[in-house]
Amino acid sequence: MSRKLARYLSWLGHDAQVFNVTQYRAELMNKGGDNNSDDEFFDYSKFNTEAANEATADLAEYIDTSGDIAIYDGLNITVKERQQFESQIKKLVSSDYHLIWVESYCDDKQTLINNFQTTRENYEEYKNLSDEEVYNVFEDKIQNLKEQNETLNKETDNSFIKIVNMGKSVEIVNVGSIRFINIIKFL
């Protein structure tokens, strides 16, 4: 979804770039040596923080130098994580910016399967897994994330968009731009 949004924004004439934490993590894992053993393959924790920090630093530099719209594609599923991200961005970005959170939730099984297959094709760390193995890995992640997730809400998150099942339902809170609302309809 983040790549589609960036392509659409670029088509509209905006300089938009995606900072995908999964890609940063994959690059770090590749630099870290042999990551083919089952134990190391599923232990992302040692790479997650560094990948998130690198993505955030690159995003801040992009916003301060040339970028119009930076899309941080990573998990910030708790109020505390979102507050930490906002604090980090405030320290790193000297330009004016408007932060809008986007939460995408999907429980449609066929949509999830299609997404898992696309993910497998686009990320090196999943390419050697079968469709069933990829589905099982993601199913486990989804269950774990559901338990931790603190959904966006008006009390703790200033501006946000919630998208359910790839656009079947959309909630927009404190997003004042009509142009941006039209972008969401595209998704």
125 touches 26 (CB < 8 A): yes
Sequential pLDDT tens for the chain (187 residues): 888 889 999 999 999 999 999 889 888 888 865 545 444 444 567 788 899 999 999 999 999 998 889 999 988 888 888 899 999 999 999 988 888 999 988 888 888 878 777 777 777 777 788 877 878 888 888 888 888 888 888 887 788 889 988 888 888 888 875 455 444 444 4
Domain edges within the chain: 2-186
Per-residue tokens: 183: 């972008």
15 touches 70 (CB < 8 A): no
**Angstrom distance (rounded) from CA 108 to CA 185:** 19
Sequence letter at residue 22: T
pTM confidence score: 0.77
Tell me the CATH number for domain 2-186: 3.40.50.300
Q: Which residue has the tokens 């404190």?
A: 174
**Angstrom distance (rounded) from CA 161 to CA 95:** 23
Angle at CA of residue 155, ends 154 and 160, nearest 5°: 30
Per-residue tokens: 104: 């995408």
